């Protein structure tokens, strides 16, 4: 069974926590160690960002991390090489988050093959058109038993959400707002209504809520309204400051308790 599906089937009553960080930042050689540390510290799933020069959905924190990673020399091939070294050690799902350009330059079938070879369970491609996903990407990904995770936002129509739910597997990434990534202090009434609207749809796929989660209030709102929460910018900031995943996690857990 794909590790993503296994996670959600085995942890149905758990409040999952997934973290995002950018491969190659803050250091080129630290990616594997960050992953191993996050698993050891109880993180449920990890999104590993593929750095790109024009990350349109990302806020300044993740943009800066991507710029640093590219300057450090991170590439798609190097990332796969690093992940292969820990393939047999990591049991939680790894999801690659990257934009279409570097993935297609690598070659999509080659990308899927490398995902399998390096222990990756799925991918998030924010700028992938859904039509291209259905016609070109999904058939190849399915052959390799990889999950392609799609995003929905408060602006996504119910019809579109149901269509995505019917044609994807793994989980649905609920973006808390239509804005770029970045920490928020709270989720306003409009976001809470969005969470309630999606809950009432009784979708087939489990959901994870991301974008803006950085404290106890936003974490609780996400975990109360979905299978769990995804944290990116807050952890990337702390990792950049400390250069140490254990220390960054200590500070993250402290922030999430406030």
pLDDT at 162: 98
Instruction: Give CA–CA dist 13/244, Å, rounded.
Output: 31
Distance of alpha carbon 17 from alpha carbon 47, whole angstroms: 11
Per the CB < 8 A criterion, the answer to whether 160 and 185 are in contact is no
54 is catalytic: no
Radius of gyration for the alpha carbons in the chain, expressed in angstroms and rounded:
17
| Dist CA 125 CA 254 (whole Å) | 31
The reply to whether 58 belongs to the active site is yes
pLDDT tens-digit series, residues 178-225: 654 544 555 778 888 999 999 999 999 999 999 989 899 999 999 999
Give residue 11's pLDDT band: very low, low, confident or very high (50, 70, 90): confident
What is the overall mean pLDDT for the chain? 93
Residue 186: its pLDDT value, please? 59
Provide mean pLDDT across the span 106-120.
Answer: 98
DSSP one-letter string for the chain: --HHHHHHHH-TTS-EEEEEEETT-S-TT-HHHHHHHHHHTT-SEEEEE---S--TT--HHHHHHHHHHHHHT--HHHHHHHHHTTTTT--S-EEEE--HHHHHHH-HHHHHHHHHHTT--EEE-TT--HHHIIIIIHHHHHHTT-EEEPEE-TTS-HHHHHHHHHH--S-EEEESSSS-S---S---HHHHHHHHHHHHT--SS-EEEESS--SHHHHHHHHHSSSEEEE-HHHHHHHHHHS-HHHHHHHHHHHHT-
Selecting among 47, 81, 169, 247, the annotated active-site residue is 47
Q: Report the alpha-carbon distance of residue 83 to residue 159 in Å, rounded.
A: 38
Mean pLDDT score, 33-59: 91
Integer Cα distance of 133 and 90 in angstroms: 28
> What is the C-alpha to C-alpha distance for residues 247 and 238, in angstroms, rounded to an integer?
8
pTM for this prediction: 0.94
Nearest-angstrom CA–CA distance, 118 and 115: 5
The one catalytic residue in 10, 33, 58, 169 is: 58
Return the pLDDT at 59: 81
Whether the CB-CB separation of 124 and 97 falls below 8 Å is answered with: yes
Instruction: Give me 232's structure tokens.
Output: 């990116």
**Beta carbons of 20 and 124 less than 8 angstroms apart:** no
């Amino acid at each position: 069974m794909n590790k993503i599906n296994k996670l959600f089937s085995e942890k149905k009553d758990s409040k999952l926590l997934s973290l995002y960080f950018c491969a190659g930042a803050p250091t080129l050689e630290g990616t594997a160690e960050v992953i191993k540390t996050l698993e050891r510290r109880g993180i449920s799933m990890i999104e590993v960002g593929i750095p790109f020069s024009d990350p349109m959905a990302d806020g300044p924190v993740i943009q800066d991390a991507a710029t640093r990673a590219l300057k450090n020399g991170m590439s798609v091939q190097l990332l796969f090489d690093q992940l292969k070294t820990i393939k047999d050690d990591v049991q939680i799902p790894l999801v690659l988050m990257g934009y279409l350009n570097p993935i297609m330059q690598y070659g999509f079938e080659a990308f899927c093959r490398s995902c399998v070879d390096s222990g990756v369970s799925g991918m998030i491609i924010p700028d992938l058109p859904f039509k291209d996903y259905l016609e070109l990407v999904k058939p190849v990904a399915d052959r390799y038993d990889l999950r392609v995770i799609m995003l929905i936002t408060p602006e996504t129509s119910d019809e579109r959400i149901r269509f995505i739910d019917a044609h994807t597997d793994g989980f649905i990434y609920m973006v808390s707002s239509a804005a770029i990534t970045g920490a928020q202090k709270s989720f306003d009434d409009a976001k809470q209504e969005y969470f309630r609207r999606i809950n009432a749809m009784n979708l087939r796929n489990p959901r994870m809520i991301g974008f803006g989660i950085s404290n106890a209030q936003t974490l609780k709102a996400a975990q109360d309204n979905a299978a769990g929460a995804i944290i990116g910018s807050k952890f990337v900031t702390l990792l950049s400051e400390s250069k140490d995943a254990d220390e960054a996690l200590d500070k993250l857990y402290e922030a999430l308790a406030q």
